[in-house]
Amino acid sequence: MQNTLAALVTPGLIPELGHFALALACCFAGAQAFAGIVGPWRRHAGLIAATPALAIGQLLALAVACAALVLASLADDFSVKNIFENSAIAKPFIYKIAGAWGNHEGSILLWGLILGLCGGAVTAFGGNLPTLLRARVIGVLGGTSVGFLLFALLTSNPFTRLWPPALDGRGMNPLLQDPGLAIHPPILYAGYVGFAVPFAFAIAALIEGRVDAAWGRWVRPWAVASWAFLTCGIALGSWWAYYELGWGGYWFWDPVENASLMPWLTGTALVHSAIVVEKRESLKIWTILLAIGTFALSLSGTFMVRSGILNSVHSFAADPTRGVFILGLLGLLIGGSFLLFALRAGNLSPGGIFAPLSREGALILNNILLCSIASIVIVGTLYPPFADLLIGQKISVGAPFFNATVLPLAIPMFVAMALGPLLPWKRGRLAPLLQHAWWAALIATLTAGIASFGMGILPACGFGAAAWLILGSFAEVAERTLLFRTKAATSVRRARGLPVAVLGAAIAHAGMGVTVAGISGSALSTQKIVSAKPGDHFFSGGYEWTLLKLDSKEGPNYQARVATILISKDGVPLQLVRPERRNFTAQHQTVSDVAISTNFLRDLYVVLGEERDGEAVLRFHVNVLAPWIWLGALIMASGGTLSLLDRRLRVGAPVPARARKKLVTA
Amino acid sequence: MTRKSRRLAIIAAVALGLGTATLLSMSAFRQNMVFFMAPTDIAQQGVPAGRTIRLGGMVTAGSVSRGQDNGSPIAKFRVTDGKTTIDVSFAGILPDLFREGQGVVALGTLAPDHSFVAAEVLAKHDETYMPKDVADALKKTGHWNPAKGAPAPNTLWTGATATPPTSIKSGG
């Protein structure tokens, strides 16, 4: 397969073609930015009409560049420096494809491609947008692309050649040779880069000096889609850390993890505040600010990870010189946006008024709490590197800091999350609220109460919060379908008529509850470290673990030691697991391959450590409810995706007639 | 509710949220700030037992030994920055990239006998990697000048206490 590919392509031509396509894409992006900004400004019909074609051209050129990199990697073209450094002839086929974006240069190209896809998507799905707004949005996206493509071309060119070409590559970091990590970057980047679209909408709105309900309706699906991708991306990364690093944990408050959490928090706030813009024409300035801030955090996340400012266990490629370029790009983009914001935000007229106890009030509370948590994460992540830079003091803060600060703010947010959707717009009253939610509150309190007998107070509260979130999320659905209060058929009919977005929101909120339950479960988890020889057996976490044998195994590009362990409960054999310890010969690197046996209520997790004198170090974990952590994230993301299907988002009319009449009479 | 009072309410809520965040961070920072220290820093500054710090240095060649404590395997090794050496014990699986003569970062506390009890031993994913903090610490003690090339080979980091290995001295 690979030989035929190599024979098909003229050696050396493919990377040059890719390099040319990348430069062409940069030119297209420049033209796109010019046409999209100057066209609407000068009311030049030709320029405005050219923007969609330019965006598509940029996307096509980028697709060619990416295809060239993948093809060159498949053809083992070691005259390309990037492929020499990150690939090898012996590398499995799938990782020759996925490896194309598993390194710094390739991942920046992927960034560019996804940004190009965003431009293409606005072109394709933006048919109902006003022509001027669409041109401006595409123009801003083009300008952002120019920055990133220049960054790729000037400082991290994936097509840099090597002379003389090498015979074989250095190979890929074994930790990255994993299916989860192969799809992790595209999904995470789709989330990061997707927030470029709300950002472009915000800048376009500032240039126009107008934000209205229609703007909120247009921007929200983009924000929700990016948010869903980012949620999946973070969950995948955390899952990878769980099963690949073999430390038994799922979230380490590592700077690189925090870098993706920050835009997620503000992005979540954005998704909610855009609802207020859409329904009530309120919170406009704030929403614009959030759109800019979220993209700025996405960019800084890339900057921090790629520049090596953040010392992390996850960082693979770090080069400070590149950091300067991204820092400049960041300064230009963020500084420019905030300057525009300062100049224009005052022109945006404030919208409808409302009481503190109302849907708007709850959404504002959600925004305040999310942004407070985000600011804590920012401070905790950025203070240590800046303290090192400015006063030369080497400090760090870890999980205890974040747990102590984030939890007290998360709890009121969980309480409000379930209540918010039950409140009416403009003005709510306490009595009906209690009437609708008392049963959820009662069950949640009972859950916490019962749980507190078996565990500490904090995890018990966690389980209570989880129950409250899951039940409370469906309180609105139950309320709107008059569940148990009318005939079942009526309820079903009402459920059919329910807007999909309502259901999506309920599912997303419940997903958070599932994740909270999973996190609380980790307080019940147990672990035991032993040194064992074949035949030894141990008791840990209510299970009996017997080491049956230790043998060697030959993999495609590694040698491994394999332990065979029988797990039984009360004398009944449950499961045979085989954790491995792989030695990748090309890189002289050892990687643990964790054995996990799950039944969705608990994971049995075994790690094989080093061996001495016929005894192997083994670690047994029983991780209670661990799969729920990622299951919840998946449910959250699918709730977001479901709400994208809402018919109301696809309808051209910006404000329904009924709502408009209400606005006029109000 | 008028626009003005609504604005006041929002400002109050924002101030409350951000104020809580600030207070929480300040108190948590004070309690959970972890300092990075090389063995010499620990010897000079007198760290109270029980305080969590991050220790960085080179694992002394030939110093790793393994034992048992209550059925759990314990790894013992020494960490040096070329001037001072400290004994470290760690219960658990040493990271895959842990090697004698290589850089290491450990999170833990000082025991009353001035040895270091590691709760976590960190290793980078890259086998040639020298943790940045460790590199800085070595530069500070004058045992590695990056301008003169790579740090001394692994085998030379043998329990250096008062005098660093000669080849390093000539290099730095």
B interface test, pick of A316, A368, A583 with most B CB neighbours within 10 Å: A368
Contact between B102 and B58 (Cβ < 8 Å): yes
* Amino acid A165: pLDDT: 85
Can you tell me whether residue B37 is helix, strand or coil?
Answer: strand
Task: Enter the tokens of residue A665.
Answer: 């009479």
Q: Is the pLDDT of residue A317 over 70?
A: no
The pLDDT tens digits for A272-296 are 999 988 888 888 888 999 999 999 9
Q: Cβ neighbours of residue A172 under 8 Å, at least 6 residues apart?
A: A86, A87, A88, A91, A95, A99, A102
User: Greatest CA separation found in chain B?
Assistant: 79
Q: Is the pLDDT of residue A141 over 60?
A: yes
Parallel, antiparallel or unpaired: strands B34-37 and B52-59:
parallel
**Rounded mean pLDDT, A100-109:** 86
Top pLDDT among B7 and B172 is at B7
Smallest Cβ–Cβ distance between A375 and the set B21, B92, B122 belongs to B21
The per-residue DSSP string of A553-615 comes to EE-SS-EEEEEEEEEEETTEEEEEE--EEEEETTTTEEEEE-EEEE-SSEEEEEEEEEEETTE
Is A404 in Cβ contact with B24 (below 8 Å)?
A: yes
Q: Cβ neighbours of residue A10 under 8 Å, at least 6 residues apart?
A: none
* Amino acid A38: pLDDT: 94
Angle at A331 between CA A327 and CA A334, to 5 degrees: 125
A318 close to B (CB below 8 A): no
C-alpha R_g of chain B: 22
d(CA A14, CA A102): 20
Angle at A234 between CA A204 and CA B125, to 5 degrees: 120
The one-letter amino acid at A310: L
Task: Enter the tokens of residue B97.
Answer: 């990239």
Of A291, A227, A224, residue with least CA distance to A261: A227
Of A65-69, A396-400, A607-611, B111-115, where does mean pLDDT reach its minimum?
Answer: A396-400
| pLDDT bucket at A486, cuts 50 / 70 / 90 | confident
DSSP state of B141: T
Q: What is the mean pLDDT of chain A?
A: 86
A154 close to B (CB below 8 A): no
**Residue for token pair 């300064």:** A331
Question: Chain A: residue nearest B72 by CA?
Answer: A530
Indicate if the alpha-carbon torsion angle A450, A454, A460, A463 is positive or negative.
negative
A605 φ/ψ angles, rounded to the nearest 5 degrees: -130, 115
d(CA A235, CA A233): 5
* Amino acid A633: pLDDT: 96
d(CA B59, CA B81): 9
For A87-237, list the strands marked E by DSSP: none
C-alpha distance from A56 to closest chain B C-alpha (Å): 39
The pLDDT tens digits for A589-647 are 788 889 999 999 999 999 998 887 788 889 999 999 999 999 999 999 999 999 988 76
Is A395 in Cβ contact with B36 (below 8 Å)?
A: yes
Distances (CA, A) of A517 to A200, A225, A439, A475: 37, 25, 19, 19
**Rounded mean pLDDT, A365-388:** 88
* Amino acid A552: pLDDT: 93
CB interface of A with B, residues 548-607, below 8 Å: 581, 587-592, 607
Length of chain B as a residue count:
172
**Residue for token pair 């009072």:** B5
Is A383 in Cβ contact with B29 (below 8 Å)?
A: yes
Distances (CA, A) of A431 to A357, A361, A569: 12, 17, 50
B158 φ/ψ angles, rounded to the nearest 5 degrees: -105, 95
Reported as half-sphere exposure (CB side, CA atoms, 13 A), residue A617 has a value of: 20
CB interface of A with B, residues 331-360, below 8 Å: 350, 353-356
Of A230, A206, A91, A68, residue with least CA distance to A140: A206
Smallest Cβ–Cβ distance between A395 and the set B34, B68, B93 belongs to B34
Smallest Cβ–Cβ distance between B93 and the set A380, A401, A619 belongs to A619
d(CA A65, CA A58): 11
- What pTM did the predictor assign? 0.87
* Amino acid A374: pLDDT: 94
d(CA A433, CA A160): 63
Question: Chain B: residue nearest A427 by CA?
Answer: B1
Q: Cβ neighbours of residue A47 under 8 Å, at least 6 residues apart?
A: A34, A35, A38, A39, A135
Residues of B in contact with A581 (CB under 8 A): 96
Q: Cβ neighbours of residue A528 under 8 Å, at least 6 residues apart?
A: A538, A540, A541, A619, A620, B72
d(CA A148, CA A154): 10
* Amino acid A320: pLDDT: 60
d(CA A29, CA A59): 9
The pLDDT tens digits for A539-569 are 999 999 999 999 999 988 788 999 999 999 9
* Amino acid B45: pLDDT: 83
Residues of A in contact with B127 (CB under 8 A): 587-589
Parallel, antiparallel or unpaired: strands A543-554 and A526-532:
unpaired
The per-residue DSSP string of B113-125 comes to TS-EEEEEEE--S
* Amino acid A386: pLDDT: 79
d(CA A192, CA A330): 14
Contact between A317 and A103 (Cβ < 8 Å): yes
A547 φ/ψ angles, rounded to the nearest 5 degrees: -85, 110
| pLDDT bucket at A327, cuts 50 / 70 / 90 | confident
A527 close to B (CB below 8 A): no
d(CA A164, CA A8): 22
The one-letter amino acid at A604: L
Length of chain A as a residue count:
666
B interface test, pick of A401, A591, A608 with most B CB neighbours within 10 Å: A401
* Amino acid A595: pLDDT: 93
B interface test, pick of A394, A409, A536 with most B CB neighbours within 10 Å: A394
d(CA A279, CA A652): 15
d(CA A481, CA A488): 9
d(CA A253, CA A301): 14
**Residue for token pair 């598993």:** A102
Indicate if the alpha-carbon torsion angle A666, B1, B5, B9 is positive or negative.
negative
Task: Enter the tokens of residue A517.
Answer: 């339950």
Q: Cβ neighbours of residue A79 under 8 Å, at least 6 residues apart?
A: A11, A12, A15, A161, A162, A163, A165, A166
d(CA A288, CA A223): 12
Residues of B in contact with A610 (CB under 8 A): 93-94
DSSP state of A80: B
The pLDDT tens digits for A343-370 are 888 777 666 677 778 888 889 889 999 9
B interface test, pick of A386, A405, A591, A617 with most B CB neighbours within 10 Å: A405
Can you tell me whether residue A355 is helix, strand or coil?
Answer: coil
The one-letter amino acid at A124: A
